[in-house]
Amino acid sequence: MKKKAELNVIVPDTLEPTFANSIRIAHKDDEFSLMFVQTIPNTDQARAKAIISITPQHAKRLLKALESNIKIYEGRYGKIKLVEEPEKPSDVEVA
Is the pLDDT assigned to residue 26 strictly greater than 90?
yes
Residue 1 — pLDDT band, cuts 50, 70, 90? low
Q: What is the pTM of this model?
A: 0.74
pLDDT tens for each residue of 39-77: 999 999 999 999 999 999 999 999 999 999 999 999 999
pLDDT tens for each residue of 59-68: 999 999 999 9
Q: Output the pLDDT for position 5.
A: 84
Distance separating alpha carbons of residues 38 and 93, to the nearest angstrom: 35
Residue 31, phi then psi, degrees to nearest 5: -160, 155
